[in-house]
Amino acid sequence: MDDELNALRRTRMRWNAPLSEVHGDLLLDRMALGDGHLADLGCGWGELLLRAVARTPGLRGTGIDTDPAALARGRSAARDRGHAGQVEFAEADAAAWPGPADRVFCIGASHAFGSTKAALDRLGRVVAPGGRLLFGDGYWAAPPSPKALEIFGDDILPLPDLLDATAAAGWQVLHFSTADQREWDDFESTSRAALTEWLLAHPADPRAAEVREWAGGRLREYVRDYRGVLGFAYLVLGR
């Protein structure tokens, strides 16, 4: 798809993870936010980061990502909400960010570090002593089919192994929850919504066939190959 459609694709998404607003608020509560520095590594457009600083006036935020369009969306939202002086967004490799920070988010970004285990180890050197990490990562909720493995790769762990990897990296679990089916269905629906709406409004556009194939293929993959198979865990960790 061209740049215009790629920019449009995620505009109906609240954040790039299966997470409801209520669940997001719970996670922010469990992070015990206060004055200090919060870094969101692999932030995308940083919606959870922006909500964190909105509820914590003494908190300074930094969002790190390599996607210029997502970062531009985050900067625009920060300006619109009056937080431009409280949050900065930087185009950089999340895995190379040196830290430290008092609080760190890393949600759906373990791939930037090479693997889940590598992310958990590296993040231990980014979170300041006495700090907290909100780590969100996929896990196999059921044995994956060959097609699911083809889509997501072989680094994803079953949930018990994810928790074992967390402990092996020296983390203590302060909070643990998983995305429910409604959160997953909403995430998948909103990931397709903007392009599906565009398709309905522009059926004769030369790009319509490509968009139709993408949207239909994404829905088929979700329903046939990983709905109920791929889970997503949220861990608030300390060490």
pLDDT at 3: 83
pLDDT at 4: 87
pLDDT at 7: 84
Is-contact 36 59, C-beta < 8 A? yes
Which residues of the chain fall short of a pLDDT of 70? Answer: none
Residue 2 belongs to some domain of the structure: no
Residue 170 belongs to some domain of the structure: yes
Q: pLDDT per residue over 107-121, tens digit each?
A: 999 999 999 999 999
Q: Which range marks the domain in which residue 131 is found?
A: 16-180+231-238
Is-contact 126 97, C-beta < 8 A? yes
The number of residues making up the chain comes to 239
CA-CA distance, 138 to 109, in Å (whole number)? 10
C-alpha to C-alpha distances, 21 to 138, 195, 208, 237, nearest whole angstrom: 19, 23, 32, 21
pLDDT at 2: 84
Q: pLDDT per residue over 36-86, tens digit each?
A: 999 999 999 999 999 999 999 999 999 999 999 999 999 999 999 999 999
Give which of 15, 223, 206 is closest to 108, Cα–Cα. Answer: 15
Residue 31 belongs to some domain of the structure: yes
Residue 178's Cβ-count burial label (10 Å; 0-12, 13-18, 19+) is middle
pLDDT at 227: 98
Residue 74 belongs to some domain of the structure: yes
Q: How many distinct structural domains can be found in the chain?
A: 1
pLDDT at 45: 97
Instruction: Report the chain's C-alpha Rg in angstroms.
Output: 18
CA-CA distance, 91 to 12, in Å (whole number)? 23
Residue 4 belongs to some domain of the structure: no
Residue 221 belongs to some domain of the structure: no
Residue 86 belongs to some domain of the structure: yes
Whole-model pTM: value is 0.95
C-alpha to C-alpha distances, 73 to 70, 79, 224, 239, nearest whole angstrom: 5, 10, 32, 33
Residue 214 belongs to some domain of the structure: no
CATH code of the domain containing 151: 3.40.50.150
